[in-house]
């Protein structure tokens, strides 16, 4: 079983739409969670950390559900520039081992 699982998509949405991705993780002892964004053939870049209480950054909202072991990312008012692959990242019970999901591809269309 993979440590982190994501729906690969693609999610094809029109500009202005709201879209949500989920990511499940297998280790209940995981402590830290992140969403990264990766553009085609580029390096991953941190989008946001995910806190237990949930957090929001502009059009992006991240939530953590420890009971069901998943994190979510909500994007409101999608822009063309949001088209990318979104990576879910979970820190394992080893303080330095991060596990990456294979990513969810988002295509925002005009």
Partner 1 sequence: NAGVTQTPKFQVLKTGQSMTLQCAQDMNHNSMYWYRQDPGMGLRLIYYSASEGTTDKGEVPNGYNVSRLNKREFSLRLESAAPSQTSVYFCASSLDGGNQPQHFGDGTRLSIL
Residues at the contact surface with partner 1, assessed by CB under 8 A: 4, 8, 31-32, 34, 42-46, 49, 87, 89, 91, 95-103
Tell me the closest approach of the beta carbon of residue 106 to partner 1, in angstroms: 16
Our CB check for partner 1 shows the closer of 46 and 80 to be 46
Residue 106 and residue 10: Cα distance in Å, rounded? 6
Which of 75, 89 has the CB closer to partner 1?
89
Interatomic CA distance for residues 89 and 21, integer angstroms: 13
Closest by CA to 32, choosing from 74, 85, 89, is: 89
**What are the counts of helices (DSSP H) followed by strands (DSSP E) for the chain?**
0, 11
Q: Which is nearer to partner 1, 64 or 78 (CB)?
A: 64
């Amino acid at each position: 079983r993979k440590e982190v699982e994501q729906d690969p998509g693609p999610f094809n949405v029109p500009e202005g739409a709201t879209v949500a991705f989920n990511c499940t993780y297998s280790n209940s002892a995981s402590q830290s969670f992140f969403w990264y964004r990766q553009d085609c053939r580029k390096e991953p870049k941190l989008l946001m950390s995910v806190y237990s209480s949930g957090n929001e950054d502009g059009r992006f909202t991240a939530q953590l559900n420890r009971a069901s072991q998943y994190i979510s990312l909500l994007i409101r008012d999608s822009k063309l520039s949001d088209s990318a692959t979104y990576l879910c990242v979970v820190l394992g019970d080893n303080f330095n081992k991060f596990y990456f999901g294979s990513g969810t591809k988002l295509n925002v269309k005009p």
